[in-house]
Amino acid sequence: MMDHVIGGKFKLGRKIGGGSFGELYLGVNVQTGEEVAVKLEPVKTKHPQLHYESKLYMLLQGGTGIPHLKWFGVEGDYNAMAIDLLGPSLEDLFNYCNRKFSLKTVLMLADQLLNRVEYMHSRGFLHRDIKPDNFLMGLGRKANQVYVIDYGLAKKYRDLHTHKHIPYRENKNLTGTARYASVNTHLGVEQSRRDDLESLGYVLMYFLRGSLPWQGLRAGTKKQKYDKISEKKMLTPIEVLCKSHPLEFTSYFHYCRSLRFEDKPDYSYLKKLFRDLFIREGYQFDYVFDWTILKYPQIGSSSRTRPSSGKPVINPGQSGDRIERPQGDQRFGIDSQVLSRHLQEGMDLGMVCMVIIPGIGLRMMCHLLKKCKLILRGPVALLVMAVLLKDPSYQAAVQTPLVNRVKTALADWS
């Protein structure tokens, strides 16, 4: 595949993902050098979806958090689609953060996720496979923006002109992912807007709790497993699911389950639930997510300091200068070899990263950058000490050719 050119201009690179609905490759526009994601699906596949999915991308174009469709067509034995290259999924980031997100991170995500679902619904479509794997963070200046992907299971729930809703039906097969499926979906009821929202609620609780009560159930067949998940889900009261977490999450589920089949959800009410909680907790909407900063144990720090997850972090984009600095003049105890290894891991994963570490000097970071043999990819450095470069107190240290290249890249980028 490595030498194939798709659509006359997208050269295929390494494989970056795959699943039951095709494979995903890194692609490069041979005319502009722009990196894209190319999804391939064999023409002879039993249930082709890519053509349908490309139509959905076209219909949804222009919405915030909707990847831009670059090209779709048939190339040899494959249906092919090129879209924006995006960053890691929320499932990836959840793993990087030791499978727990803070309340602040969950609430910042909830606001964007509700907006994405509301936008799809406003265009007349249900997603029907709401799960962490289908929400990706952007790259570069869009690194704080959540994107929704995978529209292969999406379904029109109303006519775009008459707004006539699809009819209520029963005895439907489960569509989507059982872990996050609504109770009504398990019961075979045709999905509507309420079901996407209930699924989103399970995603939020998964992030807060670390897991859901119906995970890890064993069964002989897929159907038996689905039945076990369904039973456990229905027997778990909302109050038990949301125990030890803010009441707003309980209210969210009660609202979603109170909706009738054709009801239009009050998205504003749900967003306000979480926004009011966010304000009451005293958080700042600064886009500093749990994965934004590599956290190392602080020398002499309190027990509240989170140990490092040992995972690479993702570029915080425009909000990179808004960081949570340690109190006082305390410094991080950093093993340069350990840090160097983490930086190299980030590069090996092919991510566009930004590492901001309070308490480390610019010269030390330049040394680490050289040690890792990092390079600039396009206009954005894999690792850019943007915050330090903007600090006048470091100007005297900005002498090395590497840092000057980084500064030039930053200037081009912004």
Which of 3, 77, 111, 129 is flagged as catalytic?
A: 129
- Structure-token match 């006359």, residue found: 8
What is the rounded distance in angstroms from the CA atom of residue 310 to the CA atom of residue 162? Answer: 53
What is the rounded distance in angstroms from the CA atom of residue 147 to the CA atom of residue 129? Answer: 14
What is the rounded distance in angstroms from the CA atom of residue 130 to the CA atom of residue 95? Answer: 18
What is the rounded distance in angstroms from the CA atom of residue 30 to the CA atom of residue 318? Answer: 28
- Structure-token match 């808004």, residue found: 322
What is the rounded distance in angstroms from the CA atom of residue 364 to the CA atom of residue 382? Answer: 17
Find, among 302, 283, 292, 354, the residue nearest to 323 by Cα: 292
The set of residues, in sequence order, having a beta carbon less than 8 Å from that of 197 and lying 6+ positions away, is 117, 256, 259, 265, 270
Q: Does 39 appear as a known binding residue? A: yes
Phi/psi at 362 (5° precision):
-65, -40
Q: Are strands 78-84 and 125-126 parallel, antiparallel or unpaired?
A: unpaired
How many beta carbons lie within 10 A of that of residue 389, not counting itself? 16
- For residue 276, indicate whether it is catalytic: no
Q: Are 5 and 30 in contact (CB under 8 A)?
A: yes
Find, among 76, 20, 80, 77, the residue nearest to 50 by Cα: 80
Label each residue of 20-37 as H, E or C: CCEEEEEEEECCCCCEEE
- Binding site membership: which residues? 39
- Binding site membership for ATP: which residues? 39
Active site residues: 129
